[in-house]
A and B are shown apart, each in its own frame.
Chain A
């Protein structure tokens, strides 16, 4: 697991650039895109932990995202908590929910895993629409107030941007530490060869569960923050569109590769915005890209590079 030497330099440069970004652009529109980009990227990186590392194609991320969004909104509007406790509440509820679902489904087949997680995601969507007593139904909860910290109000895009930035950097750093640790090594081993891992004395179930739950908590908190960026939450927060975006980022970058997914995330969020496609057309393009990647380089961009490296190596060995 060696990384090229220029990566730390690039990371430091990018982080500095991200911190001064609001000064570089005065446009709220642009800052808004940057906020979405950071949040989507974080959610995608946690999906990468589940799918790319643990090998579990989870659609439940969408559900956790939505539950997180609703939890933080309800905590602030109905319980009159602060935004910060609301986001922690979102993480906490997802911890419970992720554990509950995870214990059951990390023990089933991969087929059942996909279908159950998908159904969970769609179920949360329906509940958001129909459980009017709690979620206020299709109208949603409008007017989410800007976060405050010791008298400072994060009431502009540029100010809110720093919340998204700090959260994303912390979450990504945590995921990076996890993925490059021995835990990451075992997770990817489980994805490659489950029986072999067992024959070496490691039970895969706790690892899969941990990946699933960690991703649930991070995605939930990301959703909790994103709701306050939108300033409203309604059932469209659980639109399948979000799941598709997270998936596209992971798939194009190459599941199981941390940096490739980060780069793909940045590209996939910024490019369509820069080209100003309508929302529908952008999703059609995402769909085309997804199908094309699946047909021609199923392991994503990083997988394609790796394949070429292996081919060259094979040739050299003959």
Chain B
């Protein structure tokens, strides 16, 4: 195989894009775990919902990208609010298995419900941008990919500012660190938790909507990605959002590079091996609370 600099650069850009999408999902998982100590199994389905919302609303706006994107983000964050108010709110802090099985049930309802409504046939999504792209030298990036990357970066910047500088962000970090103390100083955990789930869902919806024009849409797409998000979260530390972002981007790059040179089996085997090593090296560190740091 001839390895040219262009090929490497192309791989790196693809990896970066993929990593940013993973990071959006992983950050949402970390956010929900930090505030509620729940691992959200329906997270992948939120991504899928975001994608389908994009696909379905695009024709309504004459294929124009931005209004459809806004709709999908709103839809998924609304689903997040419902998820919290009707289900997660009723599950206690120590009921870890119960939270998993509940969200697993919700993910089944969403996944197979969508499959029932729209069949399992993959969906191609077309936007007004079509195949427009940017060419720099011999590298070509399609407009939709560029936007997806830009959106992720913007989302992270927004999230960072939100957590660092607003009252809501401070309250959320306070709860993640010490629930009792946070309640004593008058923080309402229910409001904060609801907003956190809605925010995580919105990030997921954004990722799904951004992915829709890039990849084929199908109801099981969430399941494929959530596997990687879980792996990420184990490697990066679930309480640690910065860690999740860093590892997500690294994973996207590694995947893209390994996939460019070796068989895909190696790529997936590598992720699992790294994860097992992470568990072995710090069996308790992975799920430590109170380490949810931003910046």
Contact = CB atoms under 8 A, between A and B. Distances in A.
Nearest to A107: B283
Contact of A112 (B90, B113, B272, B279): B279
A258 to B, nearest CB: 19
A78 interface: no
Nearest to A280: B116
A42 B276 CA distance: 29
B6 to A, nearest CB: 27
A317 B39 CA distance: 40
Contacts of B183: none
Interface string A40-57: 000000000001000001
Interface in B21-48: 39
A10 interface: no
Given A119-B230, A127-B265, A281-B116, A291 B287 contact: no
B108 A284 contact: yes
B264 interface: yes
Contacts of B105: 286-291, 294
B227 to A, nearest CB: 4
B78 interface: no
B115 A115 contact: no
B96 interface: yes
Given A112-B286, A294-B101, A294-B102, A286 B108 contact: yes
B2 interface: no
A131 B223 CA distance: 20
Interface string A294-313: 11001000000000000000
B46 to A, nearest CB: 15
Nearest to A105: B279
A123 B98 CA distance: 24
- In this complex, the interface size class of chain B, counting residues with CB under 8 Å from chain A, is 35 or more
Contact of A116 (B104, B223, B268, B279): B279
Contacts of A104: 276, 279-280
A114 B90 CA distance: 21
Given A116-B275, A118-B230, A284-B109, A111 B96 contact: yes
B101 A287 contact: no
Nearest to B264: A130
Contacts of A251: 101
A130 B268 contact: yes
A218 to B, nearest CB: 22
B178 to A, nearest CB: 19
Interface in A259-308: 278, 280-281, 283-284, 286-291, 294-295, 298
Chief secondary structure at chain A's binding surface: helix
B96 A110 contact: yes
A114 B97 CA distance: 9
Interface in B206-247: 223, 227, 230-231, 233-234, 238
B295 interface: no
A291 B99 CA distance: 10
Most buried by A among B271, B275, B279: B279
Most buried by A among B104, B113, B230: B104
A167 B107 CA distance: 33
B115 A111 contact: no
Interface of A: 51, 57, 104-105, 107-112, 114-116, 118-120, 122-123, 126-127, 130-131, 240, 244, 247, 251, 278, 280-281, 283-284, 286-291, 294-295, 298
28 contacts: A51-B97, A57-B101, A104-B280, A108-B283, A109-B284, A111-B39, A112-B234, A114-B39, A114-B97, A115-B234, A119-B227, A119-B231, A119-B275, A122-B227, A126-B268, A130-B264, A130-B268, A281-B116, A283-B112, A284-B108, A284-B113, A284-B116, A287-B109, A290-B108, A291-B102, A291-B106, A291-B109, A298-B95
